[in-house]
Amino acid sequence: MEIVDQVRDASNIVELAGQYTALRQRGKKYVGLCPFHSEKTPSFTVDAEKGLYHCFGCGVGGDIFTLVMEKENLGFTEAVAYLAEKYRIPLPEKKRLSPQAVQLEEQLRKVMDSALAFYSRSLRTTPEGKKALDYLKARGLSDEIIEKFQLGYAPNAWDGLTGSCKAKGFSPQVLEKAGLALPGRKPGEYYDRFRGRAIFPIFTMTGKIVAFGGRALFNQEPKYLNSPDTPLYRKGQLLYGLNVTKDEIREAGEFVLVEGYTDFLALYQAGRKNVVASLGTALTPHQVGLASRFAPKAIVNYDGDAAGQTAAYRAVPLFFEKGVEARVLVLPENLDPDGFVNKKGPAAYEALYAEAVPGLKFVIDFAARGKKLDVPEVKARVLRAVMEIVEAVPDAIVRSEFLRQTAEHLGVEETVLRALSKGGPPAEPAAAKPETLLPAEKRLLQILIEGKDLRPYVFAELGESDVAGLKSEPIFKIISGFFQKNSDFVLSEIQKGAGPDLSRELSQALLDPGAPPSLEEALECLCALRIAGKEAEIRRIQAEISREEKAGPGPGPGAALAALMRRKQELTRQVIALKQ
């Protein structure tokens, strides 16, 4: 693959490995302490000429891509992109976008870097910022933490950032697209989104600034304000602090999930560094999957009040569904982690940390709280609420154990619960056409119908095979026809051609709330549909393989079976590549 060779040739494995451990030259090679295991005598060797590394202690080794994949916990495709950005090599995907789209992304990244510097400078060098700095220190945050997480301050002015960026040549429209400015009442008038707020920068896993969170310092509403969805940032896709704490999480084998920035910073400063924050929004499956790449266990430590416990009750099932072992830490006196650590101290927190309760026990206790379980109908409702959560657990063994524990905890016959159990999440249908629209199918239709400016880029990628077999295939054909004729998408005409059943589903899809359409999300939906299509073909081929195997040996079936197996392997490789 040409791009892989370009990235490999441009990369410096000594420089990269030196980010993870101190190296010293020994002859033509470099040695140091292994970044993958603890040791006192250096056994980690890097060969610059061959572009390889190896540890003679633990046996790990590979090239520059495997080094990034292991240390940053990335897939191969992500590792290539990470190194391509580091060494300024344009990726092919960028070339398929219009020059305007590429230019916009570059401008957004530059203006975000400029905003980060502006907020940091405002915190340190202005009288107003010094008051904000005093506030942060009063919350117990040290200079080291403020510096490490690049906290800042947004001046309490209408045009502090917009004026600064305008002087650097950035247009107000770019600031608006970056989520940094809002349009005023008069045409061409813009003002700062963040004003009079302590600023918490939000970074991607690879350390790119993409958004900000702001905490009000002048009794403004809302108390906490986050960046909106932008071409660089989507809510529910990142975890605050993970770019810094991923190594500590990997080493601990578990992570603590808190809600807000100050909770995260308080725990990190107190020494509990295997922590991430869900950015003050409801936890999403994507965030759970992101954190679980680094550790298989989670401790949910939301605020101790009723709202925080309700949020924890909603979060725990997401971990169960992803196969992540979850515990819950409920703090006393309705305190949040920040308030508890500042009031009681790190030692008291660690004592409670060790007593975090299993996620299932928390779910059962929460569902039963305040309920009269001696009333059969009430007890039945509690059981069904818990059973709904247990049924979503994908692992049959874990699910069975959860059933046993639920029966024991609520005092019912285990056989009754097992009789009620559906046996876990519904199995995927064989190769039948889905009865409802897939989430990615529905969202892509929303984007194409609502996002007129995105259509040329999406249809450039969308092929007939991508939607073949989907329930919405007729709709895609209709809107593709409109696009090829350069005609407006007329919903009534689309519904007329789709038929009554599909029309109802399309109407429902368009009514569902969604984030502003973006090309990134459209391409993600397209990728998900391609995966679904290939997985459906794999299931069909597997059915044919089973029929061939039952037919037994013969002159013809052997060759047919081999061809089917090869096709299945090829499709499986394609699915793995798409998922990376």
Q: Which of 295, 299, 298 is nearest to 251 (CA)?
A: 295
Q: Binning pLDDT at 50, 70 and 90, where does residue 94 land?
A: very low
197-203 and 209-216: which strand pairing? Answer: antiparallel
- Considering only residues 406 and 538, tell me which one the structure prediction assigns the higher pLDDT: 406
> Looking at residues 193-209, what average pLDDT do you find?
93
> Looking at residues 143-162, what average pLDDT do you find?
97
Summary mean pLDDT of the chain: 86
Q: What is residue 454's DSSP assignment?
A: G
Burial 313-334 (b: 16+ CB within 10 A, else e): bebbbbbbbbebbbbbbbbeee
Q: CA Rg, the chain, in Å?
A: 27
Domain 2-93, CATH among 3.30.60.50, 1.10.10.10, 3.90.580.10, 1.10.260.40:
3.90.580.10
Q: What is residue 260's DSSP assignment?
A: S
Per CATH, is 429-580 categorized as 1.20.120? no
> Looking at residues 219-244, what average pLDDT do you find?
91
Start-end ranges of CATH 1.20.50 in the chain?
370-420
> Looking at residues 221-247, what average pLDDT do you find?
91
pLDDT at position 424 is 56
Reported as a single tens digit per residue, the pLDDT across 255-302 is 999 999 999 999 999 999 999 999 877 899 889 988 987 888 999 999
Start-end ranges of CATH 1.10.860 in the chain?
429-580
Q: What is residue 453's DSSP assignment?
A: G
Answer yes or no: are the C-beta atoms of 112 and 203 closer than 8 Å.
Answer: no
pLDDT at position 430 is 39
pLDDT at position 423 is 64
Answer yes or no: are the C-beta atoms of 239 and 279 closer than 8 Å.
Answer: yes
Lowest pLDDT segment from 63-77, 106-120, 339-353 = 63-77
How far apart CA 563 and CA 47 sit, in angstroms, is 42
Other CB atoms within a 10 A radius of the CB of residue 268 amount to 24
Q: Residue with structure tokens 């059915």?
A: 543
The two structure tokens encoding residue 137: 């220190």
**CATH architecture observed for domain 242-364:** 3-Layer(aba) Sandwich (3.40)
pLDDT over threshold 80, residue 232: yes
pLDDT over threshold 60, residue 2: no
pLDDT at position 429 is 40
pLDDT at position 95 is 43
The two structure tokens encoding residue 16: 């990269």
Q: Binning pLDDT at 50, 70 and 90, where does residue 449 land?
A: confident
Reported as a single tens digit per residue, the pLDDT across 131-149 is 999 999 999 999 999 999 9
Answer yes or no: are the C-beta atoms of 65 and 76 closer than 8 Å.
Answer: yes
How far apart CA 29 and CA 56 sit, in angstroms, is 14
Reported as a single tens digit per residue, the pLDDT across 541-563 is 877 777 766 665 554 446 777 78
CB-based contacts of 74: which residues, under 8 Å, 6+ apart? 68, 82, 205
How far apart CA 283 and CA 298 sit, in angstroms, is 13
pLDDT at position 572 is 77
Amino acid at 239: L
pLDDT at position 550 is 63
How far apart CA 375 and CA 358 sit, in angstroms, is 26
Answer yes or no: are the C-beta atoms of 111 and 170 closer than 8 Å.
Answer: yes
**CATH architecture observed for domain 97-226:** Alpha-Beta Complex (3.90)
State what percent of residues in the chain have pLDDT above 70: 92
What value, to the nearest 5°, has the Cα angle with vertex 471 and ends 468 and 473? Answer: 45
pLDDT at position 97 is 53
Answer yes or no: are the C-beta atoms of 135 and 123 closer than 8 Å.
Answer: no
pLDDT over threshold 90, residue 125: yes
Taking the CA atoms of residue 452, residue 453, residue 458 and residue 464 in that order, the dihedral angle to the nearest 10 degrees is 40
How far apart CA 502 and CA 493 sit, in angstroms, is 13
What is the pTM for the complete model shown? 0.64
Domain 370-420, CATH among 1.20.50, 3.30.420, 1.10.3470, 3.40.1000:
1.20.50
pLDDT over threshold 50, residue 19: yes
pLDDT at position 428 is 43
pLDDT at position 432 is 45
Start-end ranges of CATH 3.90.980.10 in the chain?
97-226
Start-end ranges of CATH 3.90.580.10 in the chain?
2-93
Reported as a single tens digit per residue, the pLDDT across 390-436 is 998 888 889 999 999 999 999 999 998 988 887 655 444 434 445 56
Q: Binning pLDDT at 50, 70 and 90, where does residue 98 land?
A: low
Other CB atoms within a 10 A radius of the CB of residue 9 amount to 10
pLDDT at position 374 is 93
Answer yes or no: are the C-beta atoms of 315 and 283 closer than 8 Å.
Answer: yes
What is the residue-wise DSSP string for 317-360? HHHHHTT-EEEE-PPGGG--HHHHHHHH-HHHHHHHHTTPEEHH
pLDDT over threshold 50, residue 213: yes
pLDDT at position 557 is 46
pLDDT at position 80 is 84
Helix or strand holding residue 116 (H, E): helix 99-125
Peptide bond into 231 cis (omega under 30): no
Start-end ranges of CATH 3.40.1360.10 in the chain?
242-364
Lowest pLDDT segment from 8-17, 31-40, 137-146, 304-313 = 8-17
> Looking at residues 314-326, what average pLDDT do you find?
94
Q: Residue with structure tokens 């040329």?
A: 456
Helix or strand holding residue 271 (H, E): none
The two structure tokens encoding residue 462: 């969308």
Reported as a single tens digit per residue, the pLDDT across 463-501 is 888 888 888 888 888 888 888 887 777 666 787 787 777
